Amino acid sequence: MKGSLDNEARANLRAAKLYCTRCRVAILKLLGRSGGPLSQVQIARKLGGGQYDKVTIYRTLESLVNAGLVHKAFVQERAWHFELSDNCTERQCHPHFTCTGCGETHCFTGISIPMAEHAPKGFRIQRQQVRLEGLCPSCA
């Protein structure tokens, strides 16, 4: 499994015409197995504290976002949460569910929510993101 995630991350970086740096590969692999969006702090912690500094992780995330491999899923507690963009379209992100009990966020990739239409006059919807809150099965 490790090798296939490595190969997939490298192939995605090559397709996006980005260098295959250790940090880029590590972040793509981490997001690929995370099961949900992660903040920059969570990414740094899971990569093994001190392996990459905050600036390197920030710049790497920005390059992956700009290349369309990763996207900013939502803001929680004033921090962006990042995930692979393979389950989303340019205009709509899959819904996310955050448990108010344990704080875990889950991706609901199997749920389809219609795109909002008919915005009030003067407003133009460019991207739709939906975040649901409640209790997960463990907390309910």
The pLDDT value given to residue 31: 93
Pairing of strands 96-99, 131-134: parallel
The pLDDT value given to residue 27: 95
Q: E strands of the chain, at which residues?
A: 38-39, 70-76, 79-84, 96-99, 105-107, 131-134
65 and 106 assigned to the same domain: no
Structure token digits, residue 19:
């260098």
How many Cβ atoms are within 10 Å of 17's Cβ, its own excluded? 7
The pLDDT value given to residue 113: 84
Give the domain-ending residue among 41, 67, 84: 84
Structure token digits, residue 71:
């996207």
The pLDDT value given to residue 2: 54
The pLDDT value given to residue 6: 81
Pairing of strands 79-84, 38-39: antiparallel
80 and 93 assigned to the same domain: no
* 108 neighbors 97 (Cβ within 8 angstroms): yes
Q: Residue 93 sits in which domain range?
A: 87-140
pLDDT mean by block of 10 residues, the chain; 140 residues: 73 90 94 88 88 92 94 84 81 83 85 85 86 92
79 and 97 assigned to the same domain: no
Instruction: Assign residue 13 the CATH number of its domain.
Output: 1.10.10.10
Which of 104, 116, 111, 112 lies closest to 76, judged by CA?
104
